[in-house]
């Protein structure tokens, strides 16, 4: 992967645990230099043929210690099988391409239980050398389009505290912090907090106030 630029200097930093403070998006680093878009990215659904570059991408990103997953834990065959069996009603896998090369990957998996079937957990990863060109936004936007088309109402994500790039990206896409799971993720021998984020998809909805069916107002005019 390419050399680490100044805007990435904080991306992998894991500051000492500061419960509560990690939830605040204002903990992000200073201004980011503008990055010109040097290529035209393509966003498309992932296929089993993408398994190899996806696994390579995820292993490389995992080795940055921002995700809390084992870089050696990805298997091309398993990824290919997962993509081959992907049911679009339950999950969405997207890749971003540059010049035919997979340079970003995003996954949304719908809640498995009836009580959570209106939600999906999302994750996104962009190759280090292609960051800062809007691919993260593009991929998340693609997942959001799928979620709306599938009738979902909420998207959720978990981000390791201190992963400022991801926190800022989700914030920019309308995700709000919903909680902090303390010492949730072990990364390189260190227990890190995880920030829980959520975005409601209904128009004009406020957190926790969107009824699924019509509701009679309480204390209204007597019948
Ligand atoms: C998080 C990640 C996906 C962002 O991808 P990206 O393609 O660089 O993001 P974009 O260029 O689309 O940036 C979108 C927004 O994210 C934020 N952002 C992205 N990188 C940032 C950085 N290094 N510092 C601060 N903010 C950053 C900004 O708000 C940015 O909007 P702006 O360009 O208008 O300022 C990428 O850094 C990555 O793959 N990180 C490792 C994997 C990861 O942490 N995934 C999230 C957990 S699921």
Task: Look up the pTM and report it.
Answer: 0.79
Looking at residue 165, its pLDDT comes to 96
Looking at residue 188, its pLDDT comes to 84
Does 135 sit in the ligand 1 pocket, CB within 6 Å? yes
> What average pLDDT does the structure give for the chain?
79
Mean pLDDT of 139-155: 97
In a domain, 221, yes or no: no
For the stretch 161-176, pLDDT in tens is 999 999 999 999 999 9
Query: For residue 24, is pLDDT > 90?
Result: no
Q: How confident is the model at residue 123 (pLDDT cuts 50, 70, 90)?
A: very high
Which residue has the CA at smallest separation from atom 48 of ligand 1? Answer: 123
Does 124 sit in the ligand 1 pocket, CB within 6 Å? yes
For the stretch 206-219, pLDDT in tens is 443 343 333 333 33
- Give the torsion through C-alpha atoms of 168, 179, 139, 207, to 10 deg: -100
In a domain, 11, yes or no: no
- The bridge status of strand 154-160 relative to strand 119-126 is parallel
Which residue has the CA at smallest separation from atom 1 of ligand 1? Answer: 166
Does 134 sit in the ligand 1 pocket, CB within 6 Å? yes
In a domain, 63, yes or no: yes
In a domain, 3, yes or no: no
Mean pLDDT of 46-55: 97
In a domain, 34, yes or no: no
Between the CA of 136 and the centroid of ligand 1 the distance, in Å, is: 6
Looking at residue 39, its pLDDT comes to 66
Question: What percent of the chain has pLDDT above 70?
Answer: 73
Between the CA of 131 and the centroid of ligand 1 the distance, in Å, is: 7
Q: Could you tell me which of 173, 140, 138 has the C-alpha nearest to residue 40?
A: 138
Domain carrying residue 58: 39-200
- Best substitution site from 38, 64, 166, 193 to test ligand 1's pocket, by max atoms within 8 Å of Cβ? 166
Which CATH number fits the domain that encloses residue 109? 3.40.630.30
Per the structure, the count of domains in the chain is 1
In a domain, 183, yes or no: yes
The helix/strand/coil state of 184 is: strand
Does 14 sit in the ligand 1 pocket, CB within 6 Å? no
Mean pLDDT of 84-112: 96
Query: For residue 19, is pLDDT > 70?
Result: no
Looking at residue 14, its pLDDT comes to 27
Query: For residue 115, is pLDDT > 70?
Result: yes
- Sheet containing 154-160: order of strands: 42-45, 91-98, 101-110, 119-126, 154-160, 190-200, 176-187
Between the CA of 222 and the centroid of ligand 1 the distance, in Å, is: 53
In a domain, 87, yes or no: yes
Q: What long-range pairs does 105-110 form, CB within 8 A, spacing at least 24?
A: 105/46, 105/54, 105/57, 105/58, 105/139, 106/139, 106/140, 106/142, 106/143, 107/143, 108/143, 108/146, 108/147, 108/155, 110/150, 110/152
In a domain, 212, yes or no: no
Cα–Cα distance, 130 to 145 (Å, whole number): 23
Q: Per the structure block, which two tokens stand in for 44?
A: 């498309």
Looking at residue 202, its pLDDT comes to 76
Question: What percent of the chain has pLDDT above 90?
Answer: 64
Mean pLDDT of 8-20: 31
């Amino acid at each position: 992967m390419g050399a680490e630029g100044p805007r990435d200097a904080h991306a992998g930093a894991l500051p000492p645990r500061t419960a509560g403070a990690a939830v605040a998006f204002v903990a992000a680093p200073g201004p980011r230099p503008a990055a010109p878009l040097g290529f035209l990215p393509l966003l498309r659904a992932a296929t089993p043929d993408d398994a190899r570059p996806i696994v390579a991408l995820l292993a490389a990103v995992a080795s940055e210690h921002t995700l809390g997953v084992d870089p050696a834990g990805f298997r091309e065959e398993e990824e290919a099988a997962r993509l081959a069996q992907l049911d679009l009603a339950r999950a969405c896998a997207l890749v971003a391409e540059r010049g035919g090369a997979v340079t970003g990957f995003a996954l949304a998996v719908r809640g498995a239980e009836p009580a959570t079937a209106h939600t999906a957990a999302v994750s996104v990863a962009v190759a280090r050398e292609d960051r800062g060109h809007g691919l993260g936004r593009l991929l998340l936007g693609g997942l959001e389009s799928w979620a709306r088309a599938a009738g979902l109402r909420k998207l959720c994500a978990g981000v390791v505290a201190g992963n400022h790039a991801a926190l800022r990206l989700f914030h920019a896409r309308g995700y709000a912090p919903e909680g902090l799971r303390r010492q949730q993720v072990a990364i390189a021998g260190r227990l890190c907090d995880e920030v829980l984020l959520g975005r409601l998809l209904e128009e004009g909805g406020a957190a926790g106030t969107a009824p699924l069916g019509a509701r009679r107002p309480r204390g209204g005019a007597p019948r």
